[in-house]
Amino acid sequence: MELHSNIFFPIEIIGTIAFASSGAMVAVRKKLDLFGIIVLGVITAVGGGMLRDLMIGTIPPHMFRNPVYVFAAFLTVLVLFLLFRFRPHLLGSHYMEGYEKVMNILDAIGLGAFTVTGVDTGVDAGYGEYHFLLIFLGVITGIGGGILRDIMAGETPFVLKKHVYACASISGACLYVLLLQFTRSDYAMLLSALLVIAIRIQPLPVESAGHTGGIGMKTKAVRNFKRAKGTALSAEQAGTGQNGRMEYEQKDRKLKNYVQ
């Protein structure tokens, strides 16, 4: 599959970077150490593929036989750790909003690529006649890493709260399995991945935007702090200075503890 090799590999690397970034940001928000950040980042990026391989009896999973995705995830997490370690003020800066938007797009691309790759892996393993299994493999490849991340972080998995993310993966997997009944063209993979991206790219609430959910919560906290700061200063000017100043100082301490 020439198109698969030439196009989908770099797309999968892009998705790996986006997924690893989201896992790392959740770990930062949970105030985990470097090892915890690496574990959550890597498991978010490659955990879905690992679950897929275990389900179809591919032992050891592909991530251990060809760890290029693991290395890509590791390097992504390491860069983020060093960046926020020596530039902690970036977590509360306006740059995070732009970063969040970019990661949201890359996350959608990764979800589309991983979903159709999961289906394709099932076909290559000899399960082409088991349509439900193929759909499940595609979906678990796309969202499995995020589920493992949320469980390890002690949170309710995002896909159980915001169904759009899972629906995007399910729709793409179903379309690809349907197209496989007529052709196994690389363009069928591409069309199915584009469907996932089109559904997933729809604006989601900032505080929980799929794999990038940990980023949005941080940005929202900063915006809330700025609003509280403005309210406190306005109250002070209106003659309620003591109460306004106390509210401002409390919000200030909370934000500093949150972004450290």
- What is the structure's pLDDT at 245? 54
- Residue 215: pLDDT over 50: no
**pTM for the whole thing?**
0.76
**Among the ranges 50-54, 187-191, 218-222, which has the highest mean pLDDT value?**
50-54
| Residues contacting residue 194 through CB under 8 Å, at least 6 positions apart | 112
Average pLDDT over residues 42-63: 95
- What is the structure's pLDDT at 233? 46
- What is the structure's pLDDT at 79? 92
Banded model confidence at residue 65, pLDDT cuts 50, 70, 90: very high
User: With pLDDT > 70 as the criterion, what percentage of the chain qualifies?
Assistant: 74
- What is the structure's pLDDT at 167? 93
- Residue 159: pLDDT over 60: yes
- What is the structure's pLDDT at 29? 86
Banded model confidence at residue 184, pLDDT cuts 50, 70, 90: confident
Average pLDDT over residues 14-32: 91
Q: How many angstroms separate the CA atoms of 142 and 47, rounded?
A: 9
- What is the structure's pLDDT at 95? 72
pLDDT 10s digits, 72-93? 999 999 999 998 888 777 776 6
Q: How many angstroms separate the CA atoms of 157 and 102, rounded?
A: 22
- pLDDT greater at residue 215 or residue 193: 193
Average pLDDT over residues 193-200: 94
pLDDT 10s digits, 93-140? 677 788 888 888 899 999 999 999 999 999 999 999 999 999 999 999
Average pLDDT over residues 9-28: 91
- What is the structure's pLDDT at 211? 58
- What is the structure's pLDDT at 152? 94
Average pLDDT over residues 139-164: 91
- Residue 2: pLDDT over 90: no
Banded model confidence at residue 160, pLDDT cuts 50, 70, 90: confident
